[in-house]
Amino acid sequence: MIAPPDRQSIGELAANDSTAGASLEQRIKAQAYGLGFDLVGIATLGPATTASRFDEWLAHGHAGEMAYLERGAEKRRDSRRPVTGARSAVVVALDYGGGEPSGPVARYARGDDYHDVIDVRLRHLHQQVNQWVGRDIAGKGYVDTGPVLERDLARRAGLGWFGKNTMLINPRAGSFFFLGALLLDLDLVPDDPFEAERCGTCTRCLDACPTQALLEPGVLDARRCISYLTIELRGEIPVALREAMGGLLYGCDVCQDVCPWNVRFSRELPDESAFAAREALAGKDARTLARDLLGMTQAEFSRAFKGSPMKRAKLRGLKRNAAVVLGNVGTADDVGLLERVRDEEPEAMVRDHVAWALARLRG
């Protein structure tokens, strides 16, 4: 991994294919920075060093209902398998604004879907590589949607180490960034892997987790994680974990918020960022947003959250989450709304969570 060059050198190198002394690897990195990525490194594909830990994690049931992780486990164990003939990976990171204020929705999900944003940029990078090499190179970009252990590749490409909260942490950028990987049928000179582990004796992330989902350093039980409960879980949220959710309606940033590397290096989003909070979310506290979602129709939801990662939970899931939030941070003024939802909502799961919230507010 190389540090981002200044913007002038990015432009010169990316625009001038004949720059004296510029290797293909240097051009790829310069182009990646020119496309707006914040970190870039190159790794040679092969058996994943974390494969055994991944298998153990699955065997313990820590993935919960995320059955797709088990279905793709065989390919995840070796990064050469997802793309036939692929030999190298260009691994990128894109900051999503850890310096933005905390709120009821995790920072990554407030704007446009990162899958779409990063995928377009990786396609551009792939096309540029084809032009430089003079032929179509077999390859594919992955952004959290295929059988690839992106963290494993990122560490191998020199982008950072695995923190005790399981996030990849970079010593100059913290952990508030997305990862993507462009797998290519090319032999590229790899970067040195990131061998150091710089968490030391710090356990702030483990201590701060509201639901104690971090069982030990580097081991997350997704079934207790608020991000899983509010996004991936399709059924009822366990009653024992609802109060700990507090005002967190979609996702959770707590283990990142307390990390000293983020306290020091988190950045605010630039103007016009694709990840800036959209109108339906901007400036709203947990109670206001929960009320909005509980009163929202499917048509209103589709309009407000078109192209948003929050659509993954669907409206029924967000209403379920909103009911829990009102049960935790609501007031007597919310009882009327909850009663109407209880009487009119067609989804039994939502009504059950509303009943729980009513019992809390009345009690």
The set of catalytic residues is 144
Which amino acid, 107? R
* Number of other CB atoms surrounding residue 47 within 10 Å: 13
Angle, to 10 degrees, between the axis of helix 24-34 and the axis of helix 114-133?
150
Length of the chain as a residue count? 363
* Contact between residue 24 and residue 188 where contact means Cβ atoms under 8 Å apart: yes
Burial class (CB in 10 A: 0-12, 13-18, 19+), 136: exposed
**Alpha-helical runs (H) found in 60-135:** 67-71, 73-76, 114-133
* Contact between residue 294 and residue 319 where contact means Cβ atoms under 8 Å apart: yes
**Alpha-helical runs (H) found in 209-297:** 226-227, 239-245, 254-257, 260-265, 286-294
Q: Rounded to whole angstroms, how far apart are CA atoms 363 and 361?
A: 5
Q: Rounded to whole angstroms, how far apart are CA atoms 122 and 133?
A: 16
Q: Rounded to whole angstroms, how far apart are CA atoms 326 and 353?
A: 10
How does DSSP classify residue 138? P
Q: Residue 333 contacts by C-beta under 8 Å, 6 or more apart in sequence?
A: none
How does DSSP classify residue 251? -
* Contact between residue 321 and residue 291 where contact means Cβ atoms under 8 Å apart: no
User: What backbone phi and psi angles, to 5 degrees, belong to 94?
Assistant: -130, 120
Comparing CA positions, the residue from 343, 299, 289 lying closest to residue 319 is 289
